[in-house]
Amino acid sequence: MTAKAKHLDLWQVSKTYQSAQGPVEAVSDVTMSIEEGDFVSILGPSGCGKSTLMMMLAGLESITDGVVVERGRQVTGPREDVGLIFQDATLLPWLSVLDNVLFPVKILKKPRNEYLRRAHDLLAMVGLSKFENHRPSQLSGGMRQRVSICRALILDPPLLMMDEPFSALDAITRDEMNLALLDIWQKNPKTGVFITHSIREAVLLSDRVLVMGGRPSKVVCDIKIPFGRPRPDDIAESPEFNKLCGELKQYIQSGHKHMEEVST
């Protein structure tokens, strides 16, 4: 079996914020790789540095120490080949759904006609063809987040980073969005970094799950998810799925306890 190429390489990556109350060591000494095409979730207690780590990988937050390399090139700032999705869909209220999806094309001054077909196809894939001319205020939260997924995919970036993209949605819509994301990955595989507080969501979607914890925060657990793709519909009911969730829960709880002990 041939080894997969590395998409991201992190070497001794740390981040210390300077705040009015003094330095905050948010991430400490993370060394790891993420392989091409892998969907990697990051779990961990609140405040353990998950978003900070993702922002450093995306080149949107400076790195205090260490190096991040993407496909052989050191990351020094934001770049076009990363799609980003956040908890809030952050759509532009005055633009139609279609124009929101095409917004990165406009900003980067790429030819609209070349991306129009892709925008229609993406919106069809997430079931929003009939809403292309609607404004974001006419959509539900789940629909808005589906538009933001299409916007992140419009330039077909090889890397998609998602920071708790479904945490503001109700449970049923969240399950639907998980299935939509599995479907998108099946049809158009890419490298993914996904931050979530939901253990089950992480196990369902991922090829690998990392748990961050401790103070200063590190990667305390790195588990390969043994399920192939496409994932069977009833995978989340299987004993193996639930066993993995149980193991991850224990790692998170011990990281949580450690953070509480240090902060008291």
Ligand X SMILES: Nc1ncnc2c1ncn2[C@@H]1O[C@H](COP(=O)(O)OP(=O)(O)OP(=O)(O)O)[C@@H](O)[C@H]1O
> In terms of DSSP bridges, do strands 65-70 and 82-85 run parallel, antiparallel, or are they unpaired?
unpaired
* 50 near ligand X, rule: CB under 6 A: yes
Which segment (18-26, 71-79, 99-107, 108-116) binds ligand X by CB under 6 A? 18-26
- Residue 141: half-sphere exposure toward Cβ, Cα within 13 Å: 14
Contacting residue, 4, 5, 12, 17, with ligand X by CB under 6 A = 17
* 52 near ligand X, rule: CB under 6 A: yes
Whether the CA torsion 166, 125, 210, 67 is positive or negative: it is negative
* 47 near ligand X, rule: CB under 6 A: yes
d(CA 164, CA 173): 14
Closer CB to ligand X, 27 or 160, in the complex: 27
Which segment (47-55, 63-71, 228-236, 245-253) binds ligand X by CB under 6 A? 47-55
Cross-strand bridge partners of residue 85: 162
Which residue has tokens 């330095």?
23
Contacting residue, 7, 13, 40, 49, with ligand X by CB under 6 A = 49
Amino acid in the structure at residue 171: A
Three-class SS state of 181: helix
Contacting residue, 14, 28, 41, 51, with ligand X by CB under 6 A = 51
Contact criterion met (CB below 8 Å) for 94 and 135:
yes
Contacting residue, 2, 19, 137, 264, with ligand X by CB under 6 A = 19
∠ CA 224-229-231, nearest 5°, is: 95
CB of 49 to ligand X, least distance (A): 4
* 165 near ligand X, rule: CB under 6 A: no
DSSP letter at 80 equals T
Contacting residue, 16, 24, 116, 182, with ligand X by CB under 6 A = 24
Binding site for ligand X (CB under 6 A): 17, 19, 24, 26, 44, 46-52
